[in-house]
Amino acid sequence: MQERMKPPTYRCFCHPFTRTRVHAQDIIVFLSFSKGTAMSSNDSAQTTQGMGQDYNANSLTQMAAVKLSAAYIRQAIDAIEMESLPLVIIGDYGSSHGSNSMHAMQFIIQTLKETKKVDENKQQILVVHNDLPTNDWASLFDILNKNSSYHGVASGRSFYQQCLPSNSLTIGYTSTSLHWLSHKPCNLSDQCLVHCSLNDNEINAFKHQAALDYAHFLEYRSRELVPGGVLILVILANNGKATRDHGELLYRCARALLSSPELLDYTLPIYCRSYSECVDRDLFAKFDLELIKSDTVNVKSILGEQLRNGEITLDYLARVLTAAVRIALEYPLKQALIDNGQRSSEEIDKILDQYWDLHEKGMKEQLDDFETDMMVIDLVLKKIKK
C-alpha cells in the first residue's frame, strides 16, 4: 500500500468551489456541484433536479474529464485480479448528464484492452451509469446513442444505496460527486456552506453526516465488487481559505436579498472532506477494501495565471466564474425561495438575476485575493480476496 505523497500539481483552471476546470489545451468547463447524485430524500432530490440542465452545453470535455485520474485508472487496472468472467461490469457513480462520464468510461475500457486484462474474444464489457432518478437521463442517453463505443445502461438511485447485485462489479469509478451529502443534516444558522460556519453543533452534524454517507458508499460498493475488483475515487477536498472565501461570497449575496426564513433554507448539502476523512484504514478493513494508492492533488489555475499575465481581463474571469457557479448552484437557491412561498415566480426570477449580478461584482472585488486552485483526493481501493 502506498502512503500519501507530496501533492502533484496539474496546470488547469479550476474554480475551487465548482470543479470548474479549463485546461489550456482544451478550454473546458465542468461543474461538480451540478452533479446532485448523492441525495436520496425527496427534498434533496428536488434540490438536484434542475441543477445541471446546461451541464453538457457548458462541458466541452474531450478527454479532459479523465486527465487528473488517468494515472490512478492505470494503477487500479494493474491491481485488478479478474476471474474469467463473461461480463465485465464498470460502474460510473454520479454520471450526471454524460459528457464527462463517457470519456472516463472510454479511457477505462481502452486501458483494460491495452493491458490485456480482458479477452475481447471471450468477455463483454457493460457500463452502468448511475445517478438519481431526477437526473437528466435524456441527455445521457442522447450522448450514448451518438457514441456507440461501449454498451451502457442506467441505474437511477442514490449511490448511498446498493445499486448493483452483490459480487457483480469489476471497476467502480466516481469523480467529484461525494461532496454531495445524502441530505443536509440541519440548516446552517450563519452561512450557506458548512465550511464557513462557526456553529460547532451544526459543523459536527455535517461532519457526522459526511462520515455516515462515506461509510455507506464504501459498504455498498464493497458488496457490489467482485473479489479483486477496484474502486477509483476522485473526491473534492476542503481547500481551506479558497473554499471559505467563495462560501462567504455566496452567503453575502443571499443575505442582501433573502428574508431570514429563506436565508436559513439556503443551506447547501455539501461537505468537502479532508485527506484524513477519506483515508480511513479501519473503515477500509471493515468493508474488505485494501488501499492501493492515495494522493492529495493540487489542481493549478491556468486562468488565474492568464489574468496575472494580462492575457484575460478581470471582467472576463468574473463573468466566466459566475456563469459556471450559476449553473451549479442556482437551483438550491431557487428552491429555498419557492419553498418559503413568499414570492411570485416573477419576483423569484428577478431575485436570482440580482443575486448573480452581486456575485459577479463580488468576484471582481475579491479576485486579487481569491484562490482559484482546487484540491482533490484520489484513491484506489481493491476488494480483498478471501
Give the pLDDT confidence score for residue 141 in this predicted structure: 87
Give the pLDDT confidence score for residue 222 in this predicted structure: 98
- Per CATH, the homologous superfamily of domain 9-383 is Vaccinia Virus protein VP39 (3.40.50.150)
Report how far apart, in Å, the C-alpha atoms of 173 and of each of 8, 107, 127, 242 are. 21, 12, 11, 26
What are the pLDDT tens digits along the chain (386 aa)?
A: 444 433 343 333 334 444 333 332 222 233 333 444 444 433 434 433 433 444 443 333 334 445 677 888 999 999 999 877 899 999 999 988 767 778 889 999 999 999 999 988 889 999 999 998 888 888 888 888 887 788 989 999 999 999 999 999 999 999 889 999 999 999 999 999 999 999 999 999 999 999 999 999 999 999 999 999 999 999 999 988 888 998 999 999 999 999 999 999 999 999 999 999 999 999 999 999 999 999 998 877 677 778 888 898 889 888 988 988 887 788 889 999 999 999 999 999 999 999 999 999 999 888 766 666 778 899 999 999 88
Say which amino acid occupies 336.
Answer: A
Give the pLDDT confidence score for residue 66 in this predicted structure: 56
Residue 120 has a CB neighbour count (10 Å cut-off) of 10
Q: CA–CA separation, 287 vs 305, rounded Å?
A: 43
Alpha carbon 356 to its chain centroid, in Å, reads: 22
Q: Residue 185 — φ and ψ, nearest 5°?
A: -70, -20
Give the pLDDT confidence score for residue 298 in this predicted structure: 81
Residue written as grid cell 489545451 = 25
Cβ(113)–Cβ(54) below 8 Å: no
Report how far apart, in Å, the C-alpha atoms of 171 and of each of 74, 79, 147, 257, 260 are. 12, 11, 21, 46, 46
Q: Residue 182 — φ and ψ, nearest 5°?
A: -65, -30
Q: CA–CA separation, 213 vs 14, rounded Å?
A: 26
What nine digits make up the cell of 194?
A: 458548512
Cβ(236)–Cβ(379) below 8 Å: no
HEC readout, the chain = CCCCCCCCEEEEEEECCCCEEEECCCCCCCCHHHCCCCCCCHHHHHHHHCCCCCCHHHCCCCCHHHCCCHHHHHHHHHHCCCCCCCEEEEEEECCCCCHHHHHHHHHHHHHHHHCCCCCCCCCEEEEEEEECCCCCHHHHHHHHHHCCCCEEEEEECCCCCCCCCCCCEEEEEEECCCCECCCCCCCCCCCCCHHHCCCHHHHHHHHHHHHHHHHHHHHHHHHHEEEEEEEEEEEEECCCHHHHHHHHHHHHHHHHHCCHHHHHHCCCCECCECHHHHCCHHHHHHCCEEEEEEEEEEEECHHHHHHHCCCCCHHHHHHHHHHHHHHHHHHHHHHHHHHHCCCCHHHHHHHHHHHHHHHHHHHHHHHHHCCCCEEEEEEEEEECCC
Question: Which residues lie across from 381 on neighbouring strands?
Answer: 231, 291
Give the pLDDT confidence score for residue 288 in this predicted structure: 98
The structural domains of the chain, with segments of one domain joined by +, span: 9-383
Q: CA–CA separation, 294 vs 234, rounded Å?
A: 10
Report how far apart, in Å, the C-alpha atoms of 5 and of each of 9, 68, 92, 264, 298 are. 12, 16, 27, 40, 12
Cβ(55)–Cβ(32) below 8 Å: no
Alpha carbon 326 to its chain centroid, in Å, reads: 16
Q: CA–CA separation, 201 vs 198, rounded Å?
A: 9
Give the pLDDT confidence score for residue 372 in this predicted structure: 62
Backbone Cα Rg of the chain: 20
Cβ(66)–Cβ(232) below 8 Å: no
Q: CA–CA separation, 80 vs 290, rounded Å?
A: 12
Cβ(20)–Cβ(14) below 8 Å: yes
